[in-house]
Structure 1
Amino acid sequence: MSPRWETNTGIRRGRHVNYSLHAHLVFLTRDRRDVFDDAMLERCEKIMGDVCAGFDAELREFNGEADHVHLLVHYPPKVALSKLINSLKGVSSRYLRAEYTSLINRNEADSALWSRSYFAGSCGDASPTVIRQYIEDQKPPA
């Protein structure tokens, strides 16, 4: 079978599009406070996975430390990444602040869980060098 017809599980298909869009996201806690423990990180992963599912996206990887979390999200081209990030941070903040009030004091003036800033990096299966070489190797029409 031709390689172009083989199934690639990294490529998702829509009605008129084939895509493989991944973003590496990093969210910091407000003022880099050490807030998370293992139980909170597990709950945060569940919440963020549910938010991603609502956007028809997939949370591929999740991990974190006491003051930040890392996510690898596979998302469709119809999703504006900034909207997904806004929802991830907003929903997780609401749930975690409600469920872990002893660790995140909701009565403080700056009781926000997340910093206003974040990191978002695009990532894919091939390096820019490989893609550049592939484009250069295309044959012009006869």
Structure 2
Amino acid sequence: MSRYEQASHVFWRCQYHIVWTPKYRFRILKGKLGSDVYRCIHVYSEQLGCKVVELNVQIDHVHLVVKVPPKLSISSLMGALKGKIALKLFSKYPHLRKNKMWGNHFWQRGYFVDSVGVNEEIIRRYVRHQQKVEKQEQAKLALE
């Protein structure tokens, strides 16, 4: 199997590590809401022609490693993901809209993005095990 994707006139391998957070980094992406975010990312990414390689939804941020076709910009991908997911969550969980702090925005304005190159396996492992590392760090802080 080739490491590259193919379209009519292009061979490509555009892979990115993206991290973003809910507004005020609220620790809200847990339980059913976190599962919905996870599922929505898969569904909306596929609709845009992207392939999710790794995904980890933490309670206060999201890590995504994704293959993005060259015809789609990262800002377009993030605008679509964050926008569609926010609309879905606000309609499914109306109590979120009632909190005036949200101001009709579920996600923080910015995001982190890095292209994945030679260190692909390291980044994929980091995303996969992020939750385990974070729990260990919190346990250490609790003991101190």
Q: TM-score interval w.r.t. the shorter chain?
A: 0.7 to 0.9
In the alignment, is residue 76 of structure 1 matched against residue 69 of structure 2?
Answer: yes
Q: How much does 1:107 deviate?
A: 5.4
Identity %: 25
d(CA) in 2 for partners of 1:69, 1:46:
13
- Quick check: which one's strand share is greater? 1
d(CA) in 2 for partners of 1:69, 1:62:
8
Matched to 2:54, the amino acid is: E
In the alignment, is residue 29 of structure 1 matched against residue 14 of structure 2?
Answer: no
For structure 2, the 5+ residue unaligned runs are 120-144
Change (3 A) 1:39 1:26: same
Paired residues for 1:1-142 under 5 Å: 7-8=1-2, 10-102=3-95, 104-106=96-98, 108=100, 110-124=103-117, 126=118
Aligned length: 118
For structure 1, the 5+ residue unaligned runs are 1-6, 128-142
The TM-score with structure 2 as length reference comes to 0.75
- Quick check: which one's helix share is greater? 2
d(CA) in 1 for partners of 2:7, 2:98:
42
Q: How much does 1:29 deviate?
A: 0.8
Contact 1:97 1:106 in 2 (8 A): no
Compute the RMSD of aligned alpha carbons. Answer: 1.6
d(CA) in 2 for partners of 1:41, 1:23:
22
The TM-score with structure 1 as length reference comes to 0.76
Q: How much does 1:100 deviate?
A: 2.1
